[in-house]
Amino acid sequence: MPAVQVNPTRMELTNTKRRLKTAVRGHKLMRDKRDEMVRRFMEVIRKNQQLRQQVEGALTVALKEFAMARAQMSAEALENAVLFPSRRVEIEAGLRNVMSVDVPRIDIVKNEATERLPYGYAMTSAQLDGAIQTIAEMLPLLIQLAEVEKTCDRLADEIEKTRRRVNALEYVMIPQMEESIRYITMKLDENERGNLTRLMKVKDMLAERDA
């Protein structure tokens, strides 16, 4: 008896075979999609690692310079020096499609440095200039890293959803339909043998009566 109750009729057998054919085709398409998404995901992961290494390296340099500047300047002077931005940046955010998954797209449309740093040089150290310059140059990398990391999250979620659908088809739906087909076929065969037996008995009875 199959897990799902079915009527053992020829119409049901035809419909189940049709659904099985569709499920097998869908399983293959979804499995191919999952494999391609995993390949794309690995590419994005490698890019993410490269960007993160670059950002962390630049941040390490900038933090060292800030630490040196802080040691040479008063806290008030340092706070006043970094109070105003040294660069004007405009970004444009949107979405792009990767394997039917909407992932973020962040573009820098304007990245203009001011003519001079927004503080006087008399009360600041050269290390502060270097730290601010390093962080300003990091901004495109930081934006790109944010875009790539969010793309990783979106792709990972979609891969997991696709994996569950593939497993549901492979281990639940397709086996259930195959079991239903076997059950219906067996019942139809039993009915056919029963009908044949009854016909033979009727034939024998008619033959005895005519004799």
**Topology of the domain comprising 28-157:** Helix Hairpins (1.10.287)
Helix (H) or strand (E) holding 104: strand 101-113
Sign of the dihedral defined by the CA atoms of residues 171, 174, 175, 177, in that order: positive
User: 3-state SS of 46-75?
Assistant: HHHHHHHHHHHHHHHHHHHHHHHHHHHCCH
Q: Compute the distance between CA of residue 108 and CA of residue 114 in angstroms, rounded to an integer.
A: 17
pLDDT at 140 over 80: yes
pLDDT at 115 over 60: no
pLDDT at 29 (0 to 100): 94
- Name the band, by pLDDT with cuts 50, 70 and 90, for residue 15: very high
For residues 121 and 25, the model is more confident at 25
The alpha-helical segments, DSSP class H, found in 90-173 are: 126-168
**169 contacts 30 by C-beta, under 8 angstroms:** yes
pLDDT at 98 (0 to 100): 86
Q: What is the mean pLDDT of residues 62-74?
A: 83
**Where along the chain do its domains lie?**
28-157
User: What are the tokens at 138?
Assistant: 């990091």
- Name the band, by pLDDT with cuts 50, 70 and 90, for residue 176: very high
Q: Compute the distance between CA of residue 79 and CA of residue 68 in angstroms, rounded to an integer.
A: 15
47: Cβ contacts below 8 Å, ≥ 6 apart: 148
